[in-house]
Amino acid sequence: MYWLTNGGILMYFIVLMSILGLYVIIERFVYFKMNENVNMSRIRPILRQAIEKNDIKGAITALGTKQSSTAKVLKEVLIFWYKTRSTNTESLEEKAREVALAQIPKLERNMWLLSVVAHTTPLIGLLGTVTGMIKAFQAVSLHGTGD
């Protein structure tokens, strides 16, 4: 509390920015822990067996229960492949890119706020240092340096 009260008004902004940054970090941690925590090494053998047996519906069903972005991309690519029966790798890659680009906003949510906090908080601290030095020089000009 000593640093907050003696740091001046800018310390309150720094604390506010720190709370916002911590909020984003915790929110993203919880999101990734809840939604993106899928062990693809467990799903990979199931998908491989289903695709080798030409059971695309089974592979899509196995991926349908997962909430991760990777599973969603793979599921959409398999649906596209099942509907078109296209063996053209370029079209499958394009579909994967399209679905992956749709997933990016969910993964990057609130990251702009963390970027703003990371860029502005040091500048606010520097502003506090400069204002503190100005006050110190004003005190020296009024009272002198003393002994």
Please check the confidence at residue 26 and state whether its pLDDT lies above 60: yes
Mean pLDDT (whole number) for 46-70: 82
Mean pLDDT (whole number) for 63-67: 78
Mean pLDDT (whole number) for 82-92: 82
Structure confidence at residue 41 as a pLDDT band (50, 70, 90): confident
Neighbour-count burial for 26-64, b at 16+ CB within 10 Å, e otherwise: eebeeeeeeebebeeeebeeebeebeeeeebeebbebbe
Q: Among the ranges 22-26, 37-41, 104-108, which has the highest mean pLDDT value?
A: 22-26
Neighbours of 126 (CB within 10 A): 11
SS3 80: helix
Q: Which residue has the higher pLDDT, 51 or 23?
A: 23
Q: Are 114 and 24 in contact (CB under 8 A)?
A: yes
